[in-house]
Amino acid sequence: MESIVELKNVTKVIKGRTIIDDISFQVYKGEVFGFLGPNGAGKTTTIRMIVGLMGITSGDIIIGGSSIKTQFEDAVRHVGAIVENPEMYKFLTGYQNLIHYARMAKGITKEKIAEVVELVGLSDRIHDKVKTYSLGMRQRLGLAQCLLHDPEVLILDEPTNGLDPAGIREIRDYVRLLAREKNMAVIVSSHLLSEMEMMCDRIGIIQNGQLIDVQQVKEFIQGNETVHELEVIPSETALSIVHAYFPDAEANLSRNGISVSLSKKEIPHLVKILVQEEIKIFAIKETAKTLEDRFLEVTKKEAEEAHA
Ligand SMILES: Nc1ncnc2c1ncn2[C@@H]1O[C@H](COP(=O)(O)OP(=O)(O)OP(=O)(O)O)[C@@H](O)[C@H]1O
């Protein structure tokens, strides 16, 4: 896959405080890359540096082969971004807004406007005033606006913020479509982990300004371990046995017994021990981990290691 965005040892220091600490990663054409992290981790700061809204203290960002430090215009030419809420004139129609923007940007044809309107599914309503649009439609109009100059990289900071489930789904579908059909690289940040799970191909997790993990969503979710729900009695004794024999495994009481994160090959061993200890086992069920489970695991582990 062809890399279109590359962060090389990017660091940002504000007032003597390191906000972003030596981050490096690449984003490829045709993929949706998700940026995940707890509040204040540094997602927005990183995105602002990628779109050129904020300077870099050290390191560099290469977009489409151009350095954002030394070839700023060339680098940002490849980028379309919605970083803050898209500003629209509410008393103009969607179409008038796009025409207005096209005049400022120059070189954008009416055909191009029609094409992006079609692409974001606003053809039926484009001649209605923006004040009559739902939030989801406004987001799509914002998306249309940043697609006008054919960016190779699309950057969306919290694109589904404030949208209802139908609106979220719409944006998600368009984002995936743009990556798949236009071979665009899309970088999104979001707090909605389940959303990221459905929208992204890969994710990078940022915490305290450091990139702690970059992985394919599928691999990230699976990890090496899966969660097993064990219907057992007495559950508290079972839990202490698990803690004693598998001290590294995440184990908790659950509704019908205990839940244990272990690799599958360790399950027969676990069952044998529980039986030996006279725990009654009624059922064992393997449950799929969600991105949220993994995200909380990874960030908790990092935080524990940082404090150790
Ligand atoms: N201009 C600034 N001056 C001082 N500190 C800043 C500035 N911009 C960001 N920070 C700090 O940098 C850290 C990272 O902020 P950032 O907004 O990038 O986090 P985030 O991951 O986007 O968080 P959220 O999910 O809450 O938006 C925060 O601790 C924030 O207070």
DSSP one-letter string for 193-207: HHHHHHH-SEEEEEE
Residue 249 — pLDDT band, cuts 50, 70, 90? confident
| pLDDT band at 85; cut points 50, 70, 90 | low
pLDDT at 223: 62
Average pLDDT along the chain:
88
Gap between the Cα atoms of 125 and 114, Å rounded: 12
pLDDT tops 70 at residue 150: yes
- Counting from 1 in the atom list of ligand 1, the atom nearest the Cα of 191 is 25
User: Which protein residue's CA is at the shortest distance from atom 10 of ligand 1?
Assistant: 19
Sorted by where each starts, the structural domains of the chain and their CATH numbers stand as 3-220 (3.40.50.300), 224-288 (3.30.70.1650)
Over residues 175-190, the mean pLDDT reads: 91
Q: Which residue has the tokens 């079972």?
A: 238
Mean pLDDT of the 291-305 span:
73
Range name among 69-73, 257-261, 262-266 with the lowest pLDDT average:
262-266
- Transcribe 71-115 into DSSP letters: SHHHHHHTEEEE-SPPP--TTSBHHHHHHHHHHHH-S--HHHHHH
- CB of 228 closer than 6 A to ligand 1? no
User: Distance, CA 79 to ligand 1 centroid (Å)?
Assistant: 22
Q: Mapping DSSP to helix (H, G, I), strand (E, B) and coil, where does residue 184 land?
A: coil
Ligand 1 in contact with 39 (CB < 6 A)? yes
Ligand 1 pocket, 40 CB below 6 A? yes
0.90 surpassed by complex ipTM = yes
- First and final CA of the chain: distance in angstroms? 39
Q: How far apart are CA 27 and CA 96, in angstroms?
A: 34
Cis peptide leading into residue 268 (ω within 30°): no
Q: Looking at residue 225, what is its pLDDT?
A: 67
Across the chain, which distance is largest between two alpha carbons, in Å?
A: 77
The answer to whether 40 touches 12, Cβ cutoff 8 Å, is no
CA nearest ligand 1 atom 18, residue: 42
From the CA of 41, give the closest atom in ligand 1. 21
Q: What is the model's pTM? A: 0.76
Q: Lowest-pLDDT range, 66-70, 131-135, 244-248, 297-301?
A: 297-301
- In 3D, which of 286, 278, 190 has the Cα closest to residue 233? 278
If you average pLDDT over residues 240-259, what whole number do you get? 91
